[in-house]
């Protein structure tokens, strides 16, 4: 699944799933831009790839800011020549509240980062992909967007929106050599959500997984790598669960 001469942009790439995806893409020859609102984290992640002998760039980006996204995409294309692969991974989790106690601010912030940013970044890279008649967009959603989870309606709704957006955009651009797919991880270790669990919460959630453990970021990254490659050339509009059997539809 070599990606030589491809340029990949991974949002939320400083840690967790995004960091693992960036590494897998770089291993296969892509020049990788690690974009994150955490400038230092993005630069450290990119430096690790460079030390390993791969081409990488750290970039500070607030994906919820449409103007910043547009400027960033132009800057990256100018510096590296193209953006062939976009991995929309940046996301947040919020406090748990029932809907009747959820604030406007919490709801809108979740949508801005988890859903609107996917639109902003995809819109910004499409002109380059369309002109080259080749592109890969991989959106990282969540099984919560398929199943619904009490007290995180904002998060689940934002992730369900990513799934719907994926299916629509895939149909729009399929004839132009661009594929758009979605990965829906379940419980994944070394993520913001997993780190927030108490030991009892962790045990309770793992008990619902047939494989009796959390996924690793590397296991999610393996699916993203496939979808970014030539091997997935006839796959588009698809939703790939990485849940250890928790979700099977």
Positions marked active-site: 155
CA angle, corner 90, sides to 85 and 92, nearest 5? 165
Q: Give the span between the Cα atoms of 127 and 130, in whole angstroms.
A: 5
Can you say how many angstroms the Cα of residue 100 is from the centroid of all Cα atoms in its chain? 29
Q: Is the distance from CB of 176 to CB of 132 less than 8 angstroms?
A: no
Instruction: Report long-range pairs for 150-156 (Cβ below 8 Å, ≥24 apart).
Output: 150/98, 151/96, 151/97, 151/98, 152/93, 152/94, 152/96, 153/99, 153/102, 154/94, 154/102, 154/106, 154/107, 154/110, 154/111, 155/93, 155/94, 155/110, 155/114
Q: Give the span between the Cα atoms of 84 and 10, in whole angstroms.
A: 11
Q: Give the span between the Cα atoms of 133 and 176, in whole angstroms.
A: 5
Signed CA dihedral, 188, 36, 173, 109: sign only: positive
- Token pair, residue 206, equals 């793992």
């Amino acid at each position: 699944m070599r990606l030589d001469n491809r340029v990949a942009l991974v949002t939320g790439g400083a840690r967790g799933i995004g960091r693992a995806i960036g590494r897998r893409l770089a291993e296969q020859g892509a020049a990788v831009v690690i974009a994150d609102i955490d400038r230092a984290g993005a630069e450290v992640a990119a430096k690790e790839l460079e030390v390993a002998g791969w081409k990488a760039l750290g970039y500070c980006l607030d994906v919820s800011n449409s103007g910043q996204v547009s400027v960033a995409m132009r800057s990256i294309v100018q510096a590296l020549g193209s953006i062939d692969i976009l991995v929309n991974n940046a996301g947040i989790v919020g406090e748990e509240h029932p809907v009747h106690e959820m604030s406007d601010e919490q709801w809108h912030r979740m949508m801005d980062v988890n859903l609107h940013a996917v639109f902003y970044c995809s819109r910004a890279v499409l002109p380059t992909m369309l002109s080259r008649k080749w592109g890969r967009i991989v959106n990282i959603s969540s099984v919560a967007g398929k199943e619904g989870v009490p007290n995180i309606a904002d998060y689940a709704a934002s992730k369900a929106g990513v799934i719907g957006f994926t299916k629509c955009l895939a149909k729009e651009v399929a004839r132009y050599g661009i594929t758009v797919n979605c990965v829906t991880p379940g419980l994944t270790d070394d993520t913001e959500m997993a780190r927030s669990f108490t030991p009892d919460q962790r045990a309770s959630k793992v008990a619902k997984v047939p494989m009796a453990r959390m996924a690793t970021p590397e296991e999610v990254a393996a699916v993203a790598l496939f979808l970014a490659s030539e091997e997935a050339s006839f796959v588009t509009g698809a939703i790939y669960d990485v849940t250890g059997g928790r979700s099977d539809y």
